[in-house]
Amino acid sequence: MLLDQSVIAGSGNIYTDEALFIAGVRPTRRAGKVTRAECDAIAEATRAVMLRSIETGGSSISDYVAPDGSDGGYQDERRVYSRTGQPCVDCGALVKRVVVGQRSSHYCPKCQR
Ligand SMILES: [Zn+2]
């Protein structure tokens, strides 16, 4: 649901993965099983992740290039996105990748429930 542009415009794979990590919610959790408090945490985390990305100049992992042609700086701060098999920055568990709705999602199996 978080990647459905008719629900939330502008939140792609990277920001959604990062926001879910901060909120502690697994990408495989059904929208109907997310608590109100978790919804608030996801919304707050999405805003924080997007603001931080703007501050650091965007994400160049997939397609973003700054107006001057340089790469964005946000990808250096990724916690889970495209870090499959690497240790979680918080707990050290290996980051996993799963396909949700034909999109790749990345999460920590210990930090996200
Ligand atoms: Zn973790």
- Each of the 113 residues of the chain gets a pLDDT tens digit; together they read 888 777 777 777 888 999 999 999 999 999 899 999 999 999 999 999 988 888 887 665 555 555 666 666 666 688 999 999 999 999 999 999 999 888 899 999 999 99
Q: How far is the CA of 76 from the centre of ligand 1 (A)?
A: 18
Q: How far is the CA of 11 from the centre of ligand 1 (A)?
A: 22
Which has the closest alpha carbon to 19: 36, 1, 43, 3?
43
CB burial of residue 92 (10 Å; 0-12, 13-18, 19+): exposed
Q: How far is the CA of 33 from the centre of ligand 1 (A)?
A: 21
Instruction: State the residue for tokens 């926001």.
Output: 19
Q: How far is the CA of 72 from the centre of ligand 1 (A)?
A: 25
Q: How far is the CA of 69 from the centre of ligand 1 (A)?
A: 34
Q: How far is the CA of 68 from the centre of ligand 1 (A)?
A: 35
Instruction: State the residue for tokens 């042609």.
Output: 69
Is 2 in contact with 42 (CB distance < 8 Å)? yes
